[in-house]
């Protein structure tokens, strides 16, 4: 069954436009309650700093209470913090109100199960089936109750601190910390300060409309400039909901998710703590695969999306995975992608080795990669088009073993994403442009 509302990371869209309306959120809560906790139970709801979060929080609360579930409101908190608290508070369901790295005028809703993990596709499909029905309201004797949990942020902070070694200290490090005016604007600075770091905070003054606006992991330019201006040891940037992290070294060079994954994998492999393969995605830079191969570390690729990375890690017994965008899965520390915990794991390696971030990622060379989006008039069956497959194979023959080609259709809009990666940047750009033009011509 094709999903109508759920994408690769919950439901997301422009606020005020279906499905991101208050009425839809109420029906969604009712449907989720009937699928995930038909006999009633407890749900925790958290959000990021978007102004529309208040509206969706109220609508979801009403839908769950009417369906007979008790609601615990956590307030602004990173997505991984909500995942942790879902399990820690013994809730049946966790709900996050966030559009992650999108601008403030978008919002989204995603769910965690009782273990703090994202729902499988089949469960999301079941929820969608109930969406065609009106929201239910149980008898007054069976209605749920709602309350706010004032200790949520402190509980999550303590959990984050528990993921580093006893006595761990950041006293000698000066860190630029960019929280994207998002959900981590209180948690991250307090955790870093408690560990003794000297922090230079930016993106820590949310007003409901400035989330991800020229800051955070999707706009690291301000962090880069600030690191060099204040002479910091590194910069750390999260996205709006706190599940992604990117860094900048002391020289002002961006360190992406692939490089951070390499650093963590190498350290865990060296200490004997790495189990199973390291998992990336179809978009992961070939440089990571080559660097891990030279160390003798098995590397696998999952479909794009951290939920698919998680699924492959669970299937293979792995503990480390991630995406170029900064989703880092450290399953030996937590149950989901967590920007703050990922950052703490990198900082742990820096402190234990005495090496700078720049030194720790020297063993991985990123290959030039060009991505072009080709907009088409309608959705295209790439596998069923012999002309498109022929164009792809022609570029692959040109690259041979010096690179790779990835062409995939967007699941949410009529767009074909063309990625070419190789050793020569000029050749990569030329081949990507050629292939994108061919696909555009064939799709007409």
pLDDT tens for 280-307 read 999 999 999 999 999 999 999 999 888 8
What's the rounded Cα separation, in Å, for the pair 120 and 318? 19
User: For 330-352, what is each residue's pLDDT tens digit?
Assistant: 999 998 999 999 999 999 999 99
152-161 vs 339-353: helix crossing angle, rounded to 10: 30
Cβ neighbours of residue 255 closer than 8 Å, sequence gap 6 or more: 246, 247, 248, 249, 357, 361
Instruction: Quote the percentage of the chain above a pLDDT of 90.
Output: 91
**What DSSP assignment string belongs to 366-400?**
PPPEEEEEEE-SS---TTT-HHHHHHHHHHHHHHG
Rounded Cα–Cα distance for residues 314 and 331 (Å): 9
**Can you tell me the mean pLDDT for 150-176?**
97
- Give a three-class secondary structure readout of 251-271: CCCEECHHHHHHHHHHHHHHH
Three-state secondary-structure class, residue 282: coil
> Does pLDDT of 20 surpass 90?
yes
What is the model's pLDDT at position 7?
86
pLDDT value at residue 304: 87
pLDDT of res. 379: 77
Confidence of residue 67 (pLDDT cuts 50, 70, 90): very high
Ordered by where they begin, the domains of the chain are: 11-153 (3.40.120.10), 171-235 (3.40.120.10), 256-360 (3.40.120.10), 369-443 (3.30.310.50)
Which DSSP category does 100 fall into? T
DSSP H helices in 72-150: 79-88, 121-130
The one catalytic residue among 98, 100, 180, 217: 100
pTM of the model: 0.93
- pLDDT value at residue 412: 62
DSSP letters along 166-229, please?
TT---TT-EEEEE-TTSTTTTHHHHHHHHTT-EEEEES----SS-TTSS-STT-THHHHHHHHH
The half-sphere exposure of 236 on its side-chain side, counting CA atoms within 13 A, is 32
- Note if 325 is an active site residue: no
Question: Of 154, 217, 158, which Cα lies nearest the Cα of 186?
Answer: 154
At residue 1, the pLDDT reads 54
What Å distances lie between residue 173 and 153, 187, 351, CA to CA?
A: 24, 18, 9
Q: pLDDT of 175-196, one tens digit each?
A: 999 999 999 999 999 999 999 9
- pLDDT (tens digit per residue) in 21-36: 999 999 999 999 999 9
Confidence of residue 43 (pLDDT cuts 50, 70, 90): very high
- Give me the phi and psi of 18, to 5 degrees please: -50, 130
Q: Work out the average pLDDT over 70-92.
A: 97
- Give Cβ neighbours of residue 133 (< 8 Å, ≥ 6 apart): 31
HSE (CB half, 13 Å, CA atoms) of 73? 16
Q: Lowest mean pLDDT: which of 131-135, 198-202, 206-210?
A: 131-135
**Residue 29 token pair:** 């809560």
């Amino acid at each position: 069954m094709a999903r109508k509302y759920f994408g690769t990371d919950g439901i997301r869209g422009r606020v005020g436009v279906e499905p991101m309306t208050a009425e839809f959120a109420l029906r969604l809560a009712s449907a989720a309650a009937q699928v995930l906790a038909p006999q009633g139970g407890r749900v925790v709801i958290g959000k990021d700093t978007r102004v529309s979060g208040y509206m969706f929080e109220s609508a979801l609360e009403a839908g769950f209470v009417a369906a007979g579930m008790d609601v615990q409101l956590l307030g602004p908190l990173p997505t991984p913090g909500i995942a942790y608290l879902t399990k820690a508070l013994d809730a049946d369901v966790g709900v996050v109100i966030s559009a992650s790295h999108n601008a403030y005028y978008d919002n989204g809703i995603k769910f965690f199960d009782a273990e703090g993990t994202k729902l499988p596709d089949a469960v999301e499909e079941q929820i969608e089936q109930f969406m065609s029905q009106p929201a239910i309201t149980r008898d007054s004797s069976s209605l749920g109750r709602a309350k706010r949990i004032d200790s949520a942020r402190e509980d999550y902070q303590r959990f984050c601190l528990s993921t580093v070694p006893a006595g761990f200290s950041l006293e000698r490090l000066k860190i630029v910390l960019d929280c994207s005016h998002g959900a981590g604007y209180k948690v991250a600075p307090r955790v870093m300060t408690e560990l003794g770091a000297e922090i230079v905070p930016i993106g820590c003054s949310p007003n409901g409309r400035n989330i991800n606006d020229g800051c955070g992991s999707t706009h690291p330019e301000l962090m880069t400039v600030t690191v060099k201006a204040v002479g910091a040891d590194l910069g750390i940037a999260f996205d709006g909901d706190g599940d992604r992290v990117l860094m900048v070294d002391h020289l002002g060079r961006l360190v992406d998710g692939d490089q951070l994954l390499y650093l963590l994998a190498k350290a865990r492999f060296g200490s004997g703590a790495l189990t199973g393969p390291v998992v990336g995605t179809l978009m992961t830079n070939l440089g990571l695969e080559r660097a891990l191969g030279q160390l003798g570390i098995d590397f696998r690729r999952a479909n794009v999306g951290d939920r698919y990375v998680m699924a492959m890690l669970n299937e293979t017994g792995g503990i480390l995975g991630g995406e170029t965008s900064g989703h880092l899965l450290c399953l030996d520390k937590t149950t989901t992608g967590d920007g703050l915990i990922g950052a703490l794991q990198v900082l742990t390696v820096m402190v234990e080795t005495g090496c700078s971030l720049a030194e720790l990622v020297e063993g991985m060379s990123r290959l030039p990669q060009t991505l072009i989006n080709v907009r088409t008039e309608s959705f295209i069956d790439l596998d069923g088009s012999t002309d498109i497959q022929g164009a792809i194979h022609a570029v692959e023959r040109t690259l041979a073993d010096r690179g790779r080609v990835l062409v995939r259709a967007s699941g949410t809009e009529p767009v074909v994403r063309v990625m070419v990666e190789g050793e020569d940047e000029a050749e990569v750009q030329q081949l990507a442009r050629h292939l994108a033009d061919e696909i555009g011509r064939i799709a007409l």
